[in-house]
Amino acid sequence: MSNVIQFPVIAGVEITTDAEGRFNLNALHRASGEGDHKKPSKWLRTEMALELAKELEGQISPSKPTSTIKGRGITGTFAHELLAVSYAGWISPAFQLRVNQTFIDYRAGKLQQPAIPQSLPEALRLAAELAEANEAMKPKVEAYDRIATSDGGICITNAAKDLQMRPKDLFAWLSSHQWIYRRAGGSGWIAYQDKLQTGYLEHKVTVVYRNDGSEKTTEQVLVTPKGLAKLASKIERQTAA
């Protein structure tokens, strides 16, 4: 029995292919962990994607560079490998490198499934290895559970401590990945609307009373337990990549 896997796997997501070997862009999007602003449909409308598809049409005829499959079984938008890698690069340079290397290993047959135990001693040894791996992961899983079930949001500085990052690095990450931004002419940070709607971030409004009796309203971005769990997953995945 061959141990070569049927499809490549990225971040635990199986990247399926269609009958002509085109890769599932929707699966790549799920593997990236990004939101709707990075969906395949948005990239396919960009000038870069349209030009690449047009260039490929003349090289791989009669095949088409993209196809859409709807129905039972494998579904989604599928694209030629060069288009799939380019789409990954549109998501992020780091994700492109990871996808490209995975595809290279997949073509070379280097991605393998664990061998199926053929005897009781092999099965016992595999069970022991899995138990050891689960024990090693236990503190991290418990930490994620604690984060996800805790009450109330925390400031970004405290979130950085929980994520074992320097606060300035977390602020930079959140800004570059469109979680927070600075309002024009303002000094504080504001959460992007989609991150508020998904419950990853929230705003805390505080009214400060000055000595002259006037009021000043300040707004602070807080990371919710759900947002902290999401950040822990995404940052760890990108670090591993």
- Parse the chain into domains and list their residue ranges: 9-107, 116-149, 151-240
Q: pLDDT for 114-167, tens place per residue? A: 555 666 666 676 677 666 655 655 555 555 455 444 456 888 998 888 888 899
Tell me what pLDDT residue 219 has: 78
Find all residues with CB under 8 Å of 49, minimum gap 6, and list them. 43, 83, 86, 87, 90
CA of 240: how far to CAs of 30, 73, 160, in Å?
17, 31, 18
DSSP per-residue codes, 166-234: -HHHHHHHHHHTTSEEEPTT-SSEEE-HHHHHTTSEEEEEEEEE-TTS-EEEEEEEEE-HHHHHHHHHH
pTM over 0.85: no
Average pLDDT, the chain: 79
Q: Please determine, for residue 90, whether its predicted confidence score (pLDDT) is greater than 90.
A: yes
Q: 3-class secondary structure for 14-54?
A: ECCECCCCCEEHHHHHHHHCCCHHHCHHHHHCCHHHHHHHH
- CATH topology for 9-107? Mlu1-box Binding Protein; DNA-binding Domain (3.10.260)
Tell me: pLDDT of 23 over 60: yes
What is the pLDDT, as a whole number, of residue 41?
Answer: 92
